[in-house]
Amino acid sequence: MKKRLLALLLALATLLMLVACGGGNGEGGEGNGESGENATVQDENGLVYAKSGDTYTVVGYKGKGGAVSVPASFNGIAVTALSSDAFYGNKTVTALSLPASITSISSFAVASCAKLTTLTVDSANPVYRAENNCLLKGEVLVSACLGSDLAATAFTEVGDYALYGLAISQVTLPDTVKTIGKYAFAFCGAVTVTLPEGVEECKEGAFYFCQKLKSLALPASLKTFANDAFAFMTALESVSVAEGSPYYTAKSNCLIRLSDKTLVLGCAKSTIPSDGSVTKIGAAAFAGAVALKSIYIPEPITEIGKNAFYATALERASFAVNRWYVAAAEGATVGTALDTKNILSHTGHPMTADEVVAYNALLLREAYATMRWFTLP
C-alpha cells in the first residue's frame, strides 16, 4: 500500500513538473522557452522569438554577433516580423540577412546598430528589398546601415527613424527624395548633410539632436518642416537656403518663412534682421542652441513662439523698444522688455539696465508659451 501511494505521489509530482515547464511538447524550442502569452524562445544562434498568432516575431538578439541570418521558420512556424527591439542598438552584428517570409518590420528594428555594414533581403520577399545595403519598402527607405550607399539608391521618402542614432559621418541623399520622415536622422552622427533639390518636407524631429552638424544648407524646393525638425542641433553655426526659394530665405544665419515673416530656425551665430523681414520668432526656433548666450530683439518683432529659446545658454537679451510681453498660456510669467527705471524686480526694487537684460534672458529661456507684445504708454 505504501509503495502504491509513493508511486502515485511521484507520478503526480512528475505531472506537475511537466505542466510547470510547458508540458515538454517541444514548443519552447531550443533555449529559454517560457509558457504564457508573452513567452519567448531563443534559437541556437541567439535570435529571440515571440509567438504572434500563428507566426513568430523576432523580438531580440542575444548571439555573438557577426553575420546573422533570420530564418524563414522556427520549429516549423513561419517567422514573419521584426519587432522594434529586434536589433535596436546592437553592437556586434555586422551583416543581417532577412528571408522572404518577413512582411512586417517595426520602427527601430534595425536602428542604431554600431557595426552593421551589410543588409540583404531574399529576392522572393513580396514586401521588402535591399539595394546598396539599404532596406526598402516600395519607395520608402526603411532602414540604413554604415555600409549603405544612399546617393546611389532611388527612393522618394526617408522613412521614420530610418537612420536614427546611426554613427554615420556624411549623408548624401538621392535627388529622388521628396519627404524626410519623423526622427529619420535624429541622434545620428552626421557632420555633413546634403539635401538635394526636390526635398519638399521634413517631418517632426527629422534632424533632432544631430549634435555634430555645423552647417545646414536647405534646397529651394523645401516647402515645410515641423517646428522641431532641426531642434537641438547644438553645434549648428550656419543656416542657408538655395536661391530662388518661394518659401524661405536666409539672412544672418536665420531661416525665415516668407509667407508670414517668421524666423523658423536660428543658431548660436544668428543675428535677427531688423529690416522688417522678420516680425515673429517661431516656436522652438532657437531650441537647443546651447552656445547662444545673448540676443537682440529688434523693433519689428511682435511675437515670440513657444519654446523659442528653450535650452539655450542665454545670459543677456535686450529689446529695441520698451514693451511689456505677456504669455498666452494661463499662469505664465509676465515680464518686461528693455530698460525702464520704473519697472520693479521680483524683490520690489528698481531694476538696473543690466538686470533687465539678464531678467529678459531668464524669461525667454523659460517661456513655454507664445508671447505677444504691447507697447507701454
**For all residues of the chain together, what is the average pLDDT?**
84
Instruction: Supply the DSSP string of 74-114, one letter for each residue.
Output: ETTEEEEEE-TTSSTT-SSEEEEEE-TT--EE-TTTTTT-S
pLDDT for 369: 64
CA distances from 259 to 120, 245, 254, 297 (A): 45, 12, 15, 20
Is the predicted pLDDT of residue 110 greater than 60, yes or no?
yes
Alpha-helical runs (H) found in 128-231: none
Dihedral-angle region of residue 22 (phi above 0 means left; psi in -120 to 50 means alpha; beta otherwise): left
Q: Out of 193-197, 246-250, 348-352, give the one with best mean pLDDT.
A: 246-250
Which three three-digit cell numbers place residue 325?
510681453
Contact assessment for residue 328 and residue 303, using Cβ atoms and an 8 Å cutoff: no
Bridge partners of residue 325, in order along the sequence: 335, 373
Contacts of residue 273, defined as CB under 8 A and 6 or more positions apart, other chains included, come to: 251, 252, 254, 256, 298
Give the count of alpha carbons within 13 A of 30, CB side only: 8
- Sign of the dihedral defined by the CA atoms of residues 90, 92, 97, 99, in that order: negative
How many angstroms separate the CA atoms of 339 and 325, rounded? Answer: 14
Domains and CATH numbers, the chain: 40-154 (3.80.10)
At residue 131, does pLDDT exceed 80?
yes
Query: 294 is written with which cell numbers?
Result: 545673448
The amino acid sitting at 192 is T
Average pLDDT over residues 134-159: 97
The mean per-residue pLDDT over the stretch 152-171 comes to: 95
Own/partner contacts of 137-145, CB < 8 Å, gap of 24 or more, are 137/105, 139/176, 140/181, 142/105, 143/105, 143/109, 143/110, 143/111, 143/119, 144/119, 144/168, 145/96, 145/110, 145/113, 145/116, 145/117, 145/118, 145/119
Query: For residue 227, what pLDDT is reported?
Result: 87
Q: Mean pLDDT lowest for which of 79-88, 140-149, 210-219?
A: 210-219
Query: Does 306 score more than 90 pLDDT?
Result: no
pLDDT value at residue 143: 97
Q: Are 208 and 222 in contact (CB under 8 A)?
A: no
Give residue 233's identity as a one-letter amino acid code: M
pLDDT category of residue 339 using cuts at 50, 70 and 90: very low
First to last CA, the chain: 107
**Contact between residue 177 and residue 151 where contact means Cβ atoms under 8 Å apart:** no
The whole-number pLDDT of residue 18 equals 39
